[in-house]
A and B are shown apart, each in its own frame.
Chain A
């Protein structure tokens, strides 16, 4: 006899699980269906198959520009967050210093700040300093909010690595920097890549903070948000939505598979 679940209990829970999965994916599937629907409004009955909306968004220059802006911001901010995250993670796992608990609390605190509060805080900072809002101000904000994620991914990986490998390199005369480059970095690379991907996707999708500090070049989420207010843009927004959702689902699943494969290879 299984102690946690009876046979019928397990069957019931499995049914519930798959009902929830249907609930979670149904809206995405509905978007997928209507993205091919030959009608300017997403209503039943379906009126016919078309690729018109996909074509329309491909030729929409504003939308392409916003995707490009978001890609640049996401690349810059995730690069920044990963670099800062690696530095902080090494300090947290490999160094002893006073006030470590406070430092680690500060490093992780952006996780819990309401984004609306952080957004207006940054707005006031830049206003006070007289810094014009631009692509760079968004990057600055996104580095702050993605930094904790990179630390949460990199720290566990660093703690898994046998410190004696680094000590051996150090004892053999390698500098700290050299030790990091030749030993530590290759070993934590899977975590670094996955931290980068998490930061990238977070930044790419971030609306709340960006909405306060964005300049004239709008990001993709901000473009989407404003497009949602114009009904005639809805069909092509749905088409974009489908592409973005499918691409991000694919990236997420591939990243996870890649991370598991890499970890199995390294840790065994």
Chain B
């Protein structure tokens, strides 16, 4: 995650003293903001999960009961595992689809690669909710696809293809649609920085294109692939908006459970806090383990 490490200016020969933009002045505000509005809130969630704070009035003492219940509950863990499988599938499919796109842009020698890259990524930069809305309109029982099938006589209006909307399929389709443009980016960056002379050398030494791809291009682009994978997996794991709009009951995900525990119906902030912290812990662990692939410089560079 260290953004500045590689970018340190060459040995600044600067006089010390008489600073009016000192390091504490510069860092004070941003760090204070994150401590108060980012770290402290997470600590409060932890306090709720341990029943130190609670919605119920009255005295409270620290207890691990909610954590114990969570770790021995089949419902929550099964739901978490279901979300993991859905996110893994979406991430894998999207990375596999995005790789050839990035490969085409980076290595085909097309002259308009940045225009095409922008064409590819632009949908990602538009409204998330509205792109979900588009699929809701398309997939519904009386939506675009079904009404088209009725119109052309392929299906009778009494028998729409009703599995389209409010299903696990719909959630995965929409999530894939949303993330596909974005994942091409890190893969593109890693392919773009590939030294083409390596491929020429391989070719001179008699390697076929496939061999060169397997032995050189693929291994060297792996960091981009891993980064792309995580960039989809991490946000989709905690996803609740898309499942709540197109998922129905079968597309219900772990994130929806968290929202519902904090909802207006039967709020259970203690259990909800446990679920939230567990998700955060998993994501944090993934981030730490794969930190070297997640150099943000890779993403922002162009």
Contacts and interface: CB of A to CB of B under 8 A. Distances in A.
A188 interface: no
Nearest to B237: A114
B143 A42 contact: yes
Given A93-B9, A175-B20, A201-B125, A20 B137 contact: no
Contacts of A107: 3, 30-31, 34
Contacts of B159: none
A3 B30 contact: no
Contacts of A30: 134, 137-138, 144
B234 A120 contact: no
Contacts of B110: 14
B241 interface: yes
A31 B134 contact: yes
B23 A84 contact: no
Q: In the complex, which range does the number of interface residues on chain B fall in?
A: 35 or more
B29 interface: yes
B209 A43 contact: no
A24 B5 CA distance: 37
A34 B143 CA distance: 11
Given A24-B181, A84-B30, A121-B276, A13 B104 contact: yes
Contact of B23 (A91, A155, A244): A91
Interface stretch (B37-45, B63-71, B74-82): B37-45
Contacts of A187: none
B167 interface: no
B241 A120 contact: no
Contacts of B14: 167, 170
Given A120-B258, A121-B276, A253-B122, A155 B7 contact: yes
A249 B2 contact: no
A97 to B, nearest CB: 5
A24 B40 contact: no
A117 B276 contact: yes
A163 B20 CA distance: 18
A186 B256 CA distance: 45
Nearest to B209: A6
Contact of B122 (A108, A110, A167, A252): A252
A94 B9 contact: yes
B283 A4 contact: no
B137 A31 contact: yes
B30 to A, nearest CB: 4
B276 A156 contact: no
B21 A90 contact: yes
B62 interface: no
Contact of A101 (B5, B101, B119, B269): B5
Interface of B: 1-5, 7-10, 12-15, 18-21, 23, 25-27, 29-31, 33-34, 37-42, 44-45, 48, 53, 97, 100-101, 103-105, 107-110, 114, 116, 118-120, 122-123, 125-131, 133-138, 142-144, 146-148, 150-151, 177, 180-181, 196, 199-200, 202-203, 209, 212, 217, 234-235, 237-238, 240-241, 245, 255, 258-259, 262, 269, 272-273, 276-277, 279-280, 283-284, 287, 294, 296-297, 299-301
